[in-house]
Structure 1
Amino acid sequence: MYQQPRSALHNLSARELGEAYAAKELSPVEAAEAVIERIEAREPVLNALYQFEPEAVRADAKASERRWMEGTARGPLDGVPMTVKENIARAGVPMPSGTALSNPKVPQANAPVTDRILEAGGVIVGSTVMPDWGMLSSGVSSLHGITRSAWNPAWTTGGSSSGAGAAAAAGYGPLHVGTDIGGSIRLPGTWQGLATLKPSAGLIPLDVPYIGRAAGPMARTVGDAALFMTILAQPDIRDYTARPYPAMDWDLADKPDVSTLRIALQTDAGAGACPDPEVLAAVEAAAALFADAGATVERIGPFITQDMLDGLDNFWRTRSWADYRELSPSEQDKVLPYIARWCSRGAEFGGAETIRNFGSIDRMQQATIAATANYDVVLSPVSPMAAFPAEQPMPVDDPDRTMAHIGFTVPYNMSGQPAATVNCGFTADGRPIGLQLAGRVGADDRILHVAAWYEAARPSCAVPDWAGLD
């Protein structure tokens, strides 16, 4: 199974790598070299990594190799190559958050995610890039330039976990961590054909938590995302918002009986853009597959409003304006003009209006939980549109307009519910289309089990050809 050229080892899953290490059929050093070669070949075009030190990668892989040889491996992910987004703290590694501002923060300690990876023996290949302050759904950054899709460099990778999306699709190792406040894991997921999870609020601990923010796995397969959750979803006292979730079952060996599921199909978000016909057709075909397997599938209408989405967008503008206004004029000039224009509107809102805009979060949370409470799974598009040009900061390229592409994703950030993605088709010109599967708070493992069922049952025309990206 593993007797293949080293240059092809980057296509192995995390589970396959762990099994090969345990059987001594493959060394973490060989896997690391294959990933380094892959990065050096693709990175000049993709521009997915902010920090990449091959010698450090080789040293960590060598240490893992010794543990496997001595029988002291730290688990199945020891020696597996992976990345983290640049806003996830790694001690001593600057965190510019996509901006070209001077003197970026240099953390003195790791984030919980980083610690869990290192404790498990994971080999961190590097930090992946993001757009300015994570407030764009593309790979356009004042610091990094443009990050491009592994499927076609003319297309966006999505954002704000832009580098993570490109790295996962291109084979920079099988496991990647992104962050998400409105769709920033799932949008690169859908535009790169990936399996991802925006977890329940507080399930994966953060050292800088705030409303709607989550970190989560991005991978080529649901199985790898679930395997990654075994180490990421561990409590850490530094996340003071975390909830005491019960133990979850991340073993996907037993497929669920989907005939017992009550499933909602939502194709109208009630806010933002309407789904493109090709996106709509792919999602409806996925829902039909569940119905054919005996699941009860019911259509549900919108549960958020444009007013809620506008209010949230305006609150985010004010929050970013508060940071932008503190910069000197010369530093303000370094921020991406699109972001500067977008957040400047935040100056228009006084205290009372800002509180009303902040209240959109509560209203969205209440509406989302109430509308989805009676269903095991809610199926929907991830984004109403497929990938757009890489040079474009947003799908709707106008900073004065509300974020029209997050109507299906952002409600689950505000409600704290888990939402996974799986590729469910392609447009006529080959752009990936993602299916979102959302569930009740704390049902992350069950959502990944259902996602894995769909991944296995989907038609061949919806399966990404990862080897074809070589």
Structure 2
Amino acid sequence: MPDPSLPSLSDLSAQELSAAYREKRLSPVEVTRAVIARIEHCEPRLQATWLFRPEAALEQARASEQRWQRGDARGPLDGVPTTIKENIATRGDPLPAGTAAVDLMPAAADAPPAARLKEAGAVIVSKTTMPDYGMLSSGLSSFHTLARNPWDLSRTPGGSSAGAGAAAAAGYGPLHLGTDIGGSLRLPASWCGIFTLKPSLGRIPIDPPYMGRAAGPMTRTVGDAALMMQALARPDARDSMSLPAQDIDWAAFDVAPDHLRGLRIGLLLDAGCGLAVEPEIQAAVEQAARLFEKAGATVEPMQPFMSQALLDGMDHLWRMRSLVDLKALRPDQRAKVLPYIREWAESAAEFSGEHVFRSFSQFHATRVTTVNACARFDYVISPVSPNMPAAAEAPSPTNDPLRPLEHIGFTVPFNMSEQPAASVNCGYSAGGLPIGLQIAGQRFDDLGVLRVARAFEQIREVQRPWPQV
């Protein structure tokens, strides 16, 4: 009988697995088999995966096992089970973008983040699910089966990196890759109790690039995210916004709590727009702030810098973009898009050219406002989301296509300002659901955000066991 006090192989971190492979205490094959068994056990309830291919994963694991045995492993990710969000192209696989409206065509090449993970020897166990066009903070999709939150199956895991968040919390291996244009990494990380880093724009190249859009690691620990950054943060010419090569010592993320001493931290408790922060979330973030102060940081309350006009402007431009995309579809395709998404996009039909221009202008205004508000702080901490996760079936917390983004007031400004921002668990609701703390840094200070998050990992309250689905 297995010892119940010992963690399952599928729960081990990438750091632990890499050390075990190097010391020949574990094999990538046995670990991949354990992850496959976990997925097969949980998936009837979670529905986090797409293109789950056990045999292909085991083939990759056997090749990794041979490399470790020969002493020529490709690095610390070699043989580590990994998932990739389905909108990140993998060669030969279609990209449905979460919607039944898309004609499924095989991708010609791996997108940059997928290519870097494969080059590092990661075992790609599965793709993970997302909502239609990635435009919902939920796991609701016209193509995929509804994804659920492993902490409470009646709740959403968040989105749009819905399957990745659920997979990380449920133990589908240690490494998961998602994307974020307004909170799509951080919202599911917060609601699933995991860690993520939305990096500075261009730090992890993507294809196709888009204003504010970033790919990032989704893991249970800061250390595993740092390991992924070693592989992912490399320039790629396919991304016109890719940052130049920089020699960043990602292993230097591992600092002690005294790293916080002397830092000037801004505390943002009011987004200035959208939903009001729920009391349990505010209390958890305020407790985190007290822990920062106890560790020697100076914490100063911030006034809100976003506004409803800024948020609405971005919403309206995205509506018009989506309307243009819908109009390009055949009528039979358009009918397959989620009604919520169609109603949201079609509400832009009467927007004037001036209205669209003024809406587009709010993106740059958000950038300027955010950079100015953060300029006098080393880091800014805030809630990730003002609300706890909605019902699994709800497309958004408001369930209103004309008020769809009321929950992203804390996250979206850092997409537009290009600043790195992480989500790390900072507490639990009375019902036992995790609550995320956002840590944002100055532009390009991705390693600094990881360090602050790592220090916080060590001073926060004892974490509860991961959910058993």
Q: Distance in 2 between matches of 1:374 and 1:247?
A: 26
In 2, the alpha carbon distance for the partners of 1:253 and 1:270 equals: 34
1:11–1:413 distance in 2 versus 1, CA, 3 Å: same
> Distance between the aligned counterparts of 1:293 and 1:174, measured in 2?
29
Q: Which residue of 1 aligns with 2:255?
A: 254
Distance in 2 (alpha carbons) for counterparts of 1:448 and 1:348 = 44
**Paired residue secondary structure (2:8):** helix
Q: Distance in 2 between matches of 1:406 and 1:399?
A: 14
Is residue 439 of structure 1 aligned with residue 441 of structure 2? Answer: yes
Alignment partners' CA distance in 2, 1:372 and 1:176: 29
Q: Distance in 1 between matches of 2:78 and 2:102?
A: 36
Q: Which amino acid is the alignment partner of residue 455 of structure 1?
A: E
Distance 1:308 1:282, change over 3 A: same
Give SS of 1:459's match: coil
CA contact (8 A) 1:7 1:38 kept: no
Which residue matches 1:378?
380
Superposed CA deviations along residues 271-326 of structure 1, whole A, max 9, x for unmatched, are: 11110000000000000101111211100111111100000000000000001012
CA pair 93-7 structure 1, distance change in 2 beyond 3 A: farther
Q: Following TM superposition, where does structure 1 have runs of at least 4 consecutive aligned residues deviating by more than 6 angstroms?
A: 2-7
1:365 corresponds in structure 2 to 367
Counting only pairs closer than 5 Å after superposition, residues 328-367 of structure 1 correspond to structure 2 as 328-367=330-369
The one of 393, 396, 407 aligned to 1:394: 396
Q: CA deviation at 1:150?
A: 1.1
Give distance in 1, aligned partners of 2:468 and 2:449.
28
Offset of residue 245 of structure 1: 5.8
Q: 1:243 to 1:299 in 2, by over 3 A?
A: same
CA contact (8 A) 2:270 2:303 kept: yes
Please give the secondary structure, in 1, of the residue aligned with 2:218: strand
Q: Is the 8 A contact 2:129 2:164 kept in 1?
A: yes
Q: TM-score, normalised by structure 1?
A: 0.97
Residue 290 of structure 1 corresponds to: 292
Residue in 1 that maps onto 2:37:
37
Percent identity between the two aligned chains: 54
Q: Which residue of 1 is the match for residue 428 of structure 2?
A: 426
**CA distance 1:176–1:205, change in 2 (3 Å):** same
Count of residues in Structure 1 that have an aligned counterpart in Structure 2: 466
Contact 1:420/1:437 (<8 A) preserved: yes
Amino acid at match of 1:29: V
1:174 corresponds in structure 2 to 174
CA distance in 1, matches of 2:350, 2:92: 38
Shift of 1:226: 1.1
Report if the CA contact (8 A) 1:89-1:110 is conserved: yes
Amino acid paired to 2:31: A
CA drift of 1:262 comes to 0.3
1:66 corresponds to 2:61: no
| CA apart distance, 1:102 | 4.6
Equivalent residue for 2:185?
Answer: 185
Corresponding letter in the other structure for 2:282: L
Contact 2:223–2:254 (Cα < 8 Å) also in 1: no
Aligned partners of 1:464, 1:107: CA distance in 2, in Å?
A: 40
- The 1:289/1:45 distance shift into structure 2, 3 A limit, reads same
Q: Deviations over 1:88-114 (max 9, x none)?
A: 000110100000125224210000111
> 2:116–2:231: 8 Å Cα contact kept in structure 1?
yes
Unaligned runs of 5+ in 2: none
1:266 to 245, 248, 268: 268
Deviation of the 1:37 alpha carbon: 0.2
Which residue of the partner structure matches residue 469 of structure 1?
A: 468
In 2, Cα distance between equivalents of 1:143 and 1:452: 37
- What TM-score comes out, normalization by structure 2 length? 0.97
Q: Is the 8 A contact 2:168 2:218 kept in 1?
A: yes
- Hey, what's the Cα distance between the residues in 2 that align with 1:174 and 1:447? 20
Deviation per residue, 1:374-398 (Å, 9 max, x gap): 1111000000011111011101110
Q: Structure 1 residues 119 and 4, CA, compared in 2 at 3 Å: closer, same or farther?
A: farther
Distance 1:67 1:392 in 2: 46
Following superposition, the deviation at residue 7 of structure 1 comes to 8.6
**Is it true that 1:324 corresponds to 2:323 in the alignment?**
no
For 1:240 and 1:272, how far apart are their aligned partners in 2?
32
SS at match of 1:263: strand
